[in-house]
Amino acid sequence: MSAVSPFQETTDKPLDAEALKRDFPILQQPMSGKPLAFLDSAASAQTPERVIEAEARVYREYYANIHRGVYKLSQQATQAYEGVRAKVRDLINAPDEREIVYVRGTTEAINLVAHSFVRPRLQAGDEILITEMEHHSNIVPWQVLAEETGAHLVVVPIDDNGEIDPADFSARISERTKFASVVHVSNVLGTINPVEDLTRRAHERGVPILVDGAQAVPHRPVDVQAIGCDFYCFSAHKVYGPSGIGALWGRYELLADMPPYQSGGDMIRYVTLAKTEYAKPPQRFEAGTPNIAGVIAMGEGIDYLREVGPAAVARHEQALLAYANERLSQIEGLRIIGNAENKAGVISFVIDGAHPHDMGTIMDQEGVAIRAGHHCAQPVMDHFGLAATARASFGLYNTEADVDALVRGIDKVKELFG
Amino acid sequence: MSDVSDLYQEVILDHNKQPRNKRDVEPHSHEADGYNPLCGDKVTIQVRVQDGVIDDVAFKGDGCAISTASASIMTESLRGLTLEQARDFFHRFHHLVTTDDVQPDSDMGKVAVLAGVRDYPMRVKCATLAWHTLEAALEGQEEISTE
Ligand SMILES: Cc1ncc(COP(=O)(O)O)c(C=O)c1O
């Protein structure tokens, strides 16, 4: 399809969010009788018509199982399915499409790496390094692994702005550190971590590193070669694609050395009842009939994002963030959680006397969809001594009018609870 | 859907701001912790039962306005009831907050203001957390979760 790399985005023309919003049928519906201000794209982004259509078209026009039939439908489905690897490759500037493994999402990608890459290298007393701002999906798989092997989890703490200190990251790497796994952009604090620097620091000590890109890929240009990391992953449902599908990128030489994650059909080269020879990556990690239409629709979401332009999206969301910061900081009794210098379009906040859960309900009545809760990052909540926050997060379709609706919702909250 | 002020009635806002019986019960005969993993709400209920009657009941914890007000109103409503009566009260309360068009019984008092949550299915667990926790305390379980 389109051959533009995000790194060749030449125009610095601002995107027209109002027009883009019209690409999303769900955003045309009123909510509680008001225009919907959807401010929860960090949880899951909405889906444009062309992605919905791309997925429907698979079933309508060329659905068949892949890698099997010699008939035309199967060939067409296989080609479309396999073709998405190059789209993912270009989106994150990976060197080789054979390094793109389809997974159910970020969670499965991390579990895959934990199981197939880290576990065989791990002995009792070894260490895995993460940060305090990780999503549960980048904590729990490591805890389980540590529990099973007698390894330890070492955690780089965040400061009260929601940042980690790279020197502290280095200081926590020991002789026993076997792996590091860090989030690119925090889903609660919005912090953009200096992942190039962290990768360099890990590699200086011979430690391989995974970067969780769930909140980065939808919002900014990502270049895994510039980052230099060993694994990178994201979920399509945050990239204007369907739920339950995503991608893991890993260096080919690492993938080639890894045992399968699950076993069954489609991941083998040769099977006798005595022995199985595994397929090469990426097929080795894709046992069973996959989410064929989901992969194809993920590709369409990626095309959509690349046509809008990740750099343009980043600029747009930065401008919205600045606008929201300005408006919210004028509200008495409101405190923003996460004030990193380098921050993406995610704002967590609390209001004196009003619980985030109540805010969520009241805002919903105003047509404003925000997230309230711990955002699957309870250690972050613990750091700030909170049980929950309210969170507004942006996508390419959000406008200043959505932020204005948020502020009206907050006014309503304060009317009731002030 | 109804107006949000039907949910957040004065009585609820008042009990949220100034919860009643938010304290320990010393000595107590029963205790349990309740947790709503969805929103992180936590509540501890302590009860003193004497001669089959709830002599004192109080709560501690942090939660949203609905769960705080519900816990506060519950502690006011159940004192002096037999265990049998308390259980029956809980079941009628549960029915009230989960079933459309059910009218509160005349003895339910302030509890009636919580009926509004039935229009907000995501919030029913907030309203019932303290009650489930009390039931668990009386049955000798120490910890419950709404999931
Ligand atoms: C930073 C981060 N990591 C991981 C995940 C998990 O993604 P998924 O649920 O799609 O596997 C999320 C999703 O909320 C996230 O925000």
Domain map of chain A by residue range? 12-41+309-417, 52-306
The proportion of chain B whose per-residue pLDDT surpasses 70, expressed as a percent, equals: 95
Whether B73 is covered by a domain: the verdict is yes
Mean pLDDT of B114-133: 93
* Encoded tokens for A11: 């125009």
Q: Which chain A residues touch B63 with a CB distance below 8 Å?
A: 355, 357, 387
Residue B141 — pLDDT band, cuts 50, 70, 90? Answer: confident
Per-residue DSSP letter, A7: G
Domain count along chain B: 1
pLDDT of residue A146: 97
**Separation between Cα atoms, residue A312 and residue A6, nearest integer Å:** 10
Burial grade of B10 (CB within 10 A; 0-12, 13-18, 19 or more): exposed
A88 neighbors A217 (Cβ within 8 angstroms): no
Interchain pair A353, B64: CB under 8 A: no
Q: With 90 as the cut, is the pLDDT of residue B39 above it?
A: no
| Sole residue written with tokens 């309900």 | A361
- Strands A177-183 and A127-131, sheet pairing: parallel
Minimum-distance ligand 1 atom for the alpha carbon of A238: 10
Q: Which of A32, A357, A412 sits opposite B39 (nearest CB)?
A: A357
User: For chain B, how big is the Rg over CA atoms in Å?
Assistant: 14
Whether B145 is covered by a domain: the verdict is no
Interchain pair A416, B13: CB under 8 A: yes
- Strands A371-373 and A246-250, sheet pairing: unpaired
**Separation between Cα atoms, residue A76 and residue A61, nearest integer Å:** 10
Q: In terms of pTM, does the model score above 0.90?
A: yes
CATH of the domain at B134: 3.90.1010.10
Question: What pLDDT digit, counting tens, does each position of B81-93 carry?
Answer: 999 999 999 999 9
Of the residues A43, A64, A140, A376, which is catalytic? A376
Give the residue from chain B lying closest to A377, CA to CA. B40
Q: Considering only the C-alpha atoms of chain B, give the largest distance between any 2 of them, rounded to a whole number of Å.
A: 45
Residue-range definition of the domain harbouring residue B100: 3-110+121-140
Give the residue from chain A lying closest to B122, CA to CA. A361
Q: With 50 as the cut, is the pLDDT of residue B20 above it?
A: yes
Interface with chain B: mutation pick from A188, A355, A359, highest number of B CBs within 10 Å: A355
A283 neighbors A100 (Cβ within 8 angstroms): no
Whether B51 is covered by a domain: the verdict is yes
Pocket of ligand 1 (CB under 6 A): A 105-107, 135, 137-138, 183, 187, 212, 214-215, 235, 237, 376
Whether B116 is covered by a domain: the verdict is no
Give pLDDT < 70 ranges for chain A: 1-11
pLDDT of residue A175: 98
Distances (CA, A) of B57 to A392, B31, B76: 39, 10, 8
**Separation between Cα atoms, residue A55 and residue A154, nearest integer Å:** 42
Whether B81 is covered by a domain: the verdict is yes
**Separation between Cα atoms, residue B99 and residue B29, nearest integer Å:** 33
pLDDT of residue A277: 84
Tally the C-alpha atoms within 13 A of residue B36's C-alpha that lie toward its C-beta. 29
| Sole residue written with tokens 């022995």 | A275
Distances (CA, A) of B126 to A165, B11, B64, B97, B133: 38, 16, 7, 11, 12
Q: What is the mean pLDDT of chain B?
A: 91
* Encoded tokens for B52: 């089959």
B33 Cβ contact partners less than 8 Å away, ≥ 6 residues apart: B42, B43, B44, B133, B142, B143, B144
pLDDT of residue B38: 75
Minimum-distance ligand 1 atom for the alpha carbon of A108: 11
B139 Cβ contact partners less than 8 Å away, ≥ 6 residues apart: none
Q: With 50 as the cut, is the pLDDT of residue B1 above it?
A: no
The DSSP-derived string for A310-372 is HHHHHHHHHHHHHHHHHHHHTSTTEEEE---SSB-SEEEEEETTB-HHHHHHHHHHTTEE-EE
ipTM over 0.90: no
Burial grade of A33 (CB within 10 A; 0-12, 13-18, 19 or more): exposed
pLDDT of residue A13: 82
Distances (CA, A) of A418 to A136, A237, B17: 33, 37, 10
B128 neighbors B121 (Cβ within 8 angstroms): no
**Separation between Cα atoms, residue A359 and residue A366, nearest integer Å:** 11
Whether B146 is covered by a domain: the verdict is no
Give the residue from chain B lying closest to A353, CA to CA. B17
Domain A12-41+309-417, CATH homologous superfamily name and number: Aspartate Aminotransferase, domain 1 (3.90.1150.10)
B67 neighbors B127 (Cβ within 8 angstroms): yes
pLDDT of residue A392: 98
pLDDT of residue B142: 67
| Sole residue written with tokens 């997925």 | A55
A243 neighbors A293 (Cβ within 8 angstroms): no
Helix (H) or strand (E) holding B4: helix B4-7
Domain A52-306 has CATH 3.40.640.10: yes
Q: Quick check: is A376 catalytic? A: yes
Q: Which chain A residues touch B123 with a CB distance below 8 Å?
A: 357, 361
Q: With 70 as the cut, is the pLDDT of residue B112 above it?
A: yes
Whether B30 is covered by a domain: the verdict is yes
Count of A-B CB contacts under 8 Å = 54
The DSSP-derived string for B68-133 is HHHHHHHHHHHTT-BHHHHHHHHHHHHHHHHSTTPPPPGGGGGGGGGGGGGG-GGGHHHHHHHHHH
